[in-house]
Structure 1
Amino acid sequence: MKRRKEKNRSSSKKRTRGNARDTRAESEEFLKKNRLKPNVIETESGLQYSIVDPGEGASPTEWSTVEVNQRILLADGTVIKDTFRTPDTDRFTMEEAIPGLKEGLPLMKEGGRFRFVVPPDLAWGKRGAGDRIGPYATLVFDIRLERVRG
């Protein structure tokens, strides 16, 4: 009986960062499949995006502060953050953004909603971030640009 309980506890543990080799292979496969989807645009750097709603307002510059609602997922669908489910938005300067968002957000206009697939070298690369984003992780951002300042 004790063994069964121990086994159940270990299987319900929170997902961890994983190992670099597995995450890198998963990322490469995900990016390869995603680029074949209709309406996906890929930039020279490897950033992939699709336009859900183009928006009509201002676009951010490298000196702007942006306010966004966003859902951030790993390639396997694990949700890292979701402000769409809260009354709060995220606010940050473009200078603070990861390279993939520094490239992608200026493509947007206020009120617009894009889906960005950010390869590891435009996100946190081989170091990962915290205990949930492993090395070489591809990230998916579903972002609505609520406001641009500056």
Structure 2
Amino acid sequence: MGKPKKHYKKNRGGAGQNRAETEAFLKKNRTKPDVIETSSGLQYTIKDPGTGKSPDEWSTVEVNQRILLVNGTVIKNTYHGTETDVFTMAEAIDGLKEGLALMKEGGKFLFVVPPDLAWGKRGAGSKIGPYTALIFDIRLEKVL
């Protein structure tokens, strides 16, 4: 008989575990007094409304953002670096397309993007598992 196989836990978590953790987080988050929930399930909090223009579906945006999993794991953070993120609205996940359209330049929002508005059942890369909600602490620096 050979050696027993070792089972390693994936960093991105299993579908069932992620779905349960996500559903519990979304349920608790929607009860906070400053959280607004859209009909699609996107949850957001306005930290600073901003005063500039809003992006549309053809815009390119420049943002500073901190992206987290619901357990607090940071996926990306541009706030402490020297470079912002620049991308087209067409490139953004559905939750960000919807959320960024609500913002004005200079605004800072906190978005909780449910899995069906993010990467759904497939996840993305090694950090974002299936059925994972994402938290975006995002400032819309400029609509280009």
- Category of TM-score, reference length = shorter chain: over 0.9
Aligned mates of 2:87, 2:16 — CA distance in 1? 31
For the residues of structure 2 that align with 1:92 and 1:106, how far apart are their CA atoms? Answer: 14
Find the counterpart in structure 2 of residue 9 from structure 1.
none
By how many angstroms is 1:62 displaced?
0.2
What SS class does the counterpart of residue 85 from structure 1 fall into?
coil
Q: Partner of 1:43 in structure 2? A: 38
Q: Distance in 1 between matches of 2:86 and 2:24?
A: 32
**Which residue, out of 75, 79, 83, partners 1:88?**
83
Gapped regions of structure 2 (runs ≥ 5): 1-7
Q: What is the alpha-carbon root mean square deviation over aligned residues?
A: 1.3
Equivalent residue runs for 1:103-122 within 5 Å: 103-122=98-117
Taking the aligned partners of 1:144 and 1:47, their CA distance within structure 2 comes to: 17
| 1:8 paired residue number | none
Deviations along 1:96-148, one digit per CA (max 9) or x if unpaired, are: 00000010001000000000000000000000000000000000000000000
Structure richer in helix, relative to its length: 1
1:99 to 94, 99, 103: 94
Q: Of 56, 72, 77, which residue of structure 1 is paired with 2:72?
A: 77
TM (norm. structure 2) is: 0.93
Structure 1 residue ranges, 4+ long, deviating more than 3 angstroms after superposition: none
- The alignment of Structure 1 onto Structure 2 pairs a total of residues equal to 137
**Alignment equivalent of 1:60, drawn from 33, 51, 55:** 55
Q: Aligned partners of 2:51 and 2:126: how far apart in 1?
A: 37
Taking only the aligned residue pairs, the percentage that are identical comes to 72
- Report whether the alignment pairs 1:125 with 2:120: yes
